[in-house]
Amino acid sequence: MISNPLLSECFVYITLPGTIEPVTAARFEITTDYSGAPLGHLVYGKSYLQRADAVPIDPIELKLAARVYQTTAMNGVFGALRDAGPDYWGRLVIEHYVGKAPLGELDYLLHSPDDRAGALGFGLNKNPPAPKREFNRTLHLARLQAIADAIVKDEELTPSADKIQVAELLLVGTSMGGARPKAVVEDTDGLWIAKFNRLDDKWNNARIEHAMLVVARSCGLTTAESKVVPIGDRDAILVKRFDREKVAAGYLRSRMLSGLTLLRTEDSHRGRDRWSYILLVEELRRISSQPKKDAAELFRRMCFNALISNTDDHPRNHAVIAKNQDWKLSPAYDLTPMPHVSLEHRDLALTCGDAGRYANATNLLSQSARFLLTEEEAKAIVFEMRDRVKASWYEVARAEGVSEKDCERISGAFAYPGFDIDAQTAQGH
Ligand SMILES: Nc1ncnc2c1ncn2[C@@H]1O[C@H](COP(=O)(O)OP(=O)(O)OP(=O)(O)O)[C@@H](O)[C@H]1O
Ligand SMILES: [Mg+2]
């Protein structure tokens, strides 16, 4: 690990399609512009550009070319690089490890371990380090859960490395994104993201998230594979990594870009006017090698989120991946119901139709042509899915071990009354 804070440049490594060893792709530097704001620069290496098998880090914003790319967005960090860095959880772990301040964007990238999403890596040496072969085994889940608990417990206190052993932080130190406590673990099938229940959770998130993935599949969505594992008297959900494929000698990696990067926007309120499924599907159609299929799939996900009141469907909860040259929508992940108080009006995180973010059938149908669907196709999807969610969520949840009490707690999330307001006309009867 690097102890020098506020680093301003690094090398970007990439594991090319079909290979397991990273190569150096580019040099990345953050300086300041005339106003003192961070300015990121990325230059592909000459020898990388000469490779016949070179692939771009981002096929839209960072095409393979001998030029300097610059950005002032996201503190000078290109979206594709930011997507390979930690979010709230990983940052919390790093802050426990090196202390909270002053850490720059590059420090977070460089301090995070090599379990990051996608095919990129970062380092200070021109030549990449050998890939890490050892991952936490599922066997160690109890230990990892205990460390995660300790970090969560410390979250509101001043983080300090002496409360939790530094060596232990390294164990749990995932660079995967997201806010929930998690660790990356390996078993004989490959790599999984273990998401732990927090002690202050209001219900058993692990079982509910797993049940939602099962309901989603029954609604025709393509989702990440998942399972629930008990750890002591608690549960965790294990979600199979769709950006890694186990082969005899190691792991193949897929490149990955978040919806946030595709939308060319940011997390901050400044960027929110571009948080939109309608814009996202336009970008998806542009980048995807199977635009019709992926556009329809995104429509299904948007509807499903409305039907289970997954109002935390922010742009980082969508992604595209490329195993080889071709990009496509990633499997769905992080589907969580939220039983809001309002029965008439709930908003998704992204605009989903002419009436903005309103999670309502008529609104969802208002821009269906952008998803390359006819009106009839779109209506069939919306209303079949509504009926299926209504009829099946409870049974599926119970079958997957969600308690009766938790079902009661989340029951208000499913096909809430506002979903159907004005839908009589849309349904045509
Ligand atoms: N199955 C998967 N394979 C590869 N990457 C994944 C997978 N599931 C999630 N990810 C990546 O990990 C990140 C975190 O996962 P996830 O969204 O499930 O966590 P979370 O902590 O619940 O997120 P949030 O902060 O949205 O609540 C995602 O944003 C995505 O980049
Ligand atoms: Mg998430």
Choice from 176, 240, 244, 321 to test ligand 1 binding pocket (greatest atom count within 8 A of CB): 176
State how beta strands 68-71 and 120-123 pair.
Answer: unpaired
Q: What is the pLDDT of residue 156?
A: 60
Residues of the chain with pLDDT under 50: 1-5, 161, 426, 428-429
Chain centre distance of CA 34: 34
Ligand 1 atom with least separation from CA of 88: 25
CA of 43 to the centre of ligand 2 (A): 30
Q: Whose CA is closest to atom 20 on ligand 1?
A: 178
The residues with which 71 forms a beta bridge, in sequence order, are: 40
Q: Whose CA is closest to atom 1 on ligand 1?
A: 241
Inter-CA distances, 244 with 20, 32, 111, 252, Å = 10, 36, 21, 6
CA of 73 to the centre of ligand 1 (A): 22
Cis, bond preceding 86 (omega within 30 deg of 0):
no
Q: What is the DSSP letter of 418?
A: G
Ligand 1 atom with least separation from CA of 180: 21
The ligand whose atoms approach the alpha carbon of 336 most closely is: 1
Give the count of beta carbons closer than 10 Å to the beta carbon of residue 11. 18
Q: What is the pLDDT of residue 1?
A: 40
Instruction: Give the residues surrounding ligand 1 with Cβ less than 6 Å away.
Output: 89, 117, 176-180, 193, 224, 239-243, 312, 316-317, 319, 333-334
Q: Measured on CA atoms in the order 149, 151, 156, 162, is the torsion positive or negative?
A: positive
CA of 428 to the centre of ligand 1 (A): 38
Residue 338 contacts residue 311 (beta carbons within 8 Å) = yes
Residue 176 contacts residue 117 (beta carbons within 8 Å) = yes
Q: Whose CA is closest to atom 4 on ligand 1?
A: 241
| Spatial CB neighbours of 19, under 8 Å, sequence gap ≥ 6 | 252
The ligand whose atoms approach the alpha carbon of 88 most closely is: 1
Choice from 83, 196, 333 to test ligand 1 binding pocket (greatest atom count within 8 A of CB): 333
Biggest CA-to-CA distance, the chain? 67
Q: Whose CA is closest to atom 6 on ligand 1?
A: 241
Residue 239 contacts residue 224 (beta carbons within 8 Å) = yes
CA of 50 to the centre of ligand 2 (A): 37
Of 241, 243, 311, residue with least CA distance to 275: 311
CA of 110 to the centre of ligand 2 (A): 22
CA of 116 to the centre of ligand 1 (A): 11
Q: What is the pLDDT of residue 4?
A: 47
Residue with tokens 């930011």: 82
* pLDDT tens, residue by residue, 53-68: 999 999 999 999 999 9
Choice from 152, 262, 317, 338 to test ligand 1 binding pocket (greatest atom count within 8 A of CB): 317
Tokens for 155? 């979250």
CA of 239 to the centre of ligand 1 (A): 9
Choice from 334, 335, 336 to test ligand 1 binding pocket (greatest atom count within 8 A of CB): 334
Rounded Cα distance between 420 and 406, Å, is: 25
Ligand 1 atom with least separation from CA of 331: 1
CA of 155 to the centre of ligand 1 (A): 20
Q: Whose CA is closest to atom 30 on ligand 1?
A: 177
Residue with tokens 């301090």: 111
3-class state of residue 62 by DSSP? strand
Look up the pTM and report it: 0.93
* pLDDT tens, residue by residue, 291-332: 999 999 999 999 999 999 999 999 999 999 999 999 999 999
Q: Measured on CA atoms in the order 287, 288, 291, 293, is the torsion positive or negative?
A: negative
CA of 165 to the centre of ligand 1 (A): 26
Choice from 198, 312, 313, 316 to test ligand 1 binding pocket (greatest atom count within 8 A of CB): 316
Rounded Cα distance between 342 and 363, Å, is: 17
Helices (H), 339-427: 361-365, 375-399, 404-410, 423-427
Helices (H), 15-165: 46-50, 79-82, 88-98, 105-111, 141-154
Rounded Cα distance between 295 and 283, Å, is: 10
Residue 22 contacts residue 122 (beta carbons within 8 Å) = no
Q: What is the pLDDT of residue 359?
A: 97
3-class state of residue 387 by DSSP? helix
Rounded Cα distance between 157 and 179, Å, is: 17
* Run of H or E including 121: strand 120-123
Q: Whose CA is closest to atom 7 on ligand 1?
A: 241
Q: Whose CA is closest to atom 19 on ligand 1?
A: 178
Residue 415 contacts residue 309 (beta carbons within 8 Å) = no
